[in-house]
């Protein structure tokens, strides 16, 4: 395949230089240009037609959010946001993801060159993921290699690895019978919006939910608080020792693993900074493994959009322990990495479009 062609948009000449140097290390990426503001960026996008753009949040003449919104309406394309770790930066970045940005990298506050060196591997991986992500408004990935159809329990899936369409069920608000089922959700690229769609559709008496979304520290609290303002269930960033309760969702804090533990009939979570797993902390595999161990058959595992394979191995462990497992289908994923790996390993009971996952969760736990 031809190289991934990247345009960098940032008002800092040093940042543009650093981004170009880091991205150019990868033989599959070519930085074809840069722009110091959205107005010049617009002209270069027209002239160069890049595969991916990196976009700063705070810029002169027009802020990154305004430009992103205009871009996604008029010329949808993969965008990787460059964000600060300030509280305002977290809120702005989450808004950018709502507007259609694929993902983001964090800009260091001090020592730009050294700080960006620390995230160079992540930067390159996210540019590659963005290049083959489904962008809102385009309906398909721009540069992904074709995927061979997968099978589910011997059943051949439709083109694109998608399960045959099933009738969509409404999500009921009636009382859910079980009180001890644990719902564990893992996601990465595109997951902030995917998880939001699932949580917003769930009734307030849904069984307890644990969520691991690949996200840096400080971003998880801002995101959890935002989810809490939108959903009928309560959502918060997890703290060590938090009780796992019906109608509540706990989000693994950035830079910390979250695990389920059980004492008698009481579930709680533990938070730790053990080494990263699959290059991630928090790791979906770490959470799924603990749910398999302590909840066993009294669990539902859900793996959503994301690059890589985090969660696939331990979703199989969950299924082997008797849990009911669901993977988001390729057609509705931003990046069909994590669900695809879980399906390939045989750890998935159902493959569903994102819109059908909440009803499937409620239908399953209501029967218990």
- Cα distance between residue 62 and residue 55, in whole Å: 12
8 A C-beta contact, residue 8 and residue 19: yes
Q: Which of 34, 214, 290, 329 is catalytic?
A: 214
Cis peptide bond upstream of 7, omega within 30: no
214 is catalytic: yes
226 is catalytic: no
State both tokens at 249: 């969702």
- Cα distance between residue 311 and residue 81, in whole Å: 25
Where would I find the beta strands (DSSP E) of 196-290?
A: 209-213, 234-237, 248-251, 257-263, 266-272
- Alpha helix (H) ranges present in 100-163? 112-118, 120-131
User: How do beta strands 155-156 and 151-152 pair?
Assistant: antiparallel
- Cα distance between residue 116 and residue 106, in whole Å: 9
280 is catalytic: no
Q: Which of 84, 188, 290, 332 is catalytic?
A: 188
Q: Cβ atoms within 10 A of the Cβ of 169, count?
A: 12
Residue 89 phi, psi dihedral angles, 5° rounding: -65, -40
Q: Which of 103, 310, 329, 349 is catalytic?
A: 310
State both tokens at 42: 């617009």
Active-site annotation, residues: 188, 214, 310
């Amino acid at each position: 395949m031809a190289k991934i062609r990247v345009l960098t948009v940032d008002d800092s000449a040093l940042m543009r230089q650093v981004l170009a140097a880091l991205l150019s290390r990868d033989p599959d990426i070519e930085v074809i240009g840069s722009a110091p503001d959205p107005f010049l960026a617009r002209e270069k996008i027209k002239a160069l037609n890049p595969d991916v753009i990196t976009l700063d949040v705070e810029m002169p003449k027009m802020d990154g959010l305004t430009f992103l919104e205009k871009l996604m309406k008029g010329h949808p394309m993969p965008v990787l946001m460059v964000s600060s770790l300030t509280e305002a930066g977290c809120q702005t970045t989450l808004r950018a993801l709502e507007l259609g940005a694929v993902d983001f990298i964090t800009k260091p506050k001090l020592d730009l060159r050294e700080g960006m060196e620390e995230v160079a591997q992540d930067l390159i991986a996210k540019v590659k993921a963005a290049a083959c992500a489904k962008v809102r408004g385009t309906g398909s990935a721009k540069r992904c290699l074709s995927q061979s159809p997968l099978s589910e329990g011997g059943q051949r899936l439709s083109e694109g690895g998608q399960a045959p369409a099933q009738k969509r069920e409404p999500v009921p608000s009636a009382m859910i019978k079980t009180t001890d089922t644990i719902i564990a959700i893992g996601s990465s690229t595109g997951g902030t919006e995917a998880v939001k769609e699932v949580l917003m559709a769930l009734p307030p008496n849904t069984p307890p939910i644990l969520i691991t979304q690949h996200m840096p520290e400080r971003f998880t609290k801002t995101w959890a608080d935002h989810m809490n303002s939108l959903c009928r269930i309560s959502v918060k960033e997890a703290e060590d020792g938090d009780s796992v309760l019906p109608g509540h969702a706990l989000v693994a804090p950035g830079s910390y693993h979250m695990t389920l533990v059980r004492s008698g009939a009481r579930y709680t979570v533990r938070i730790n900074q053990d080494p990263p797993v699959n290059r991630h902390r928090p790791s979906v595999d770490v959470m799924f493994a603990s749910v398999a161990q302590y909840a066993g058959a009294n669990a539902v595992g859900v793996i959503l959009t994301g690059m890589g394979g985090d969660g696939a191995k331990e979703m199989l462990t969950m299924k082997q322990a008797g849990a009911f497992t669901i993977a988001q289908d390729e057609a509705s994923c931003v990046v069909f990495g994590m669900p695809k790996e879980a399906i390939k390993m045989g750890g998935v009971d159902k493959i569903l479009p994102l819109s059908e996952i909440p009803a499937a969760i409620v239908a399953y736990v209501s029967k218990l």
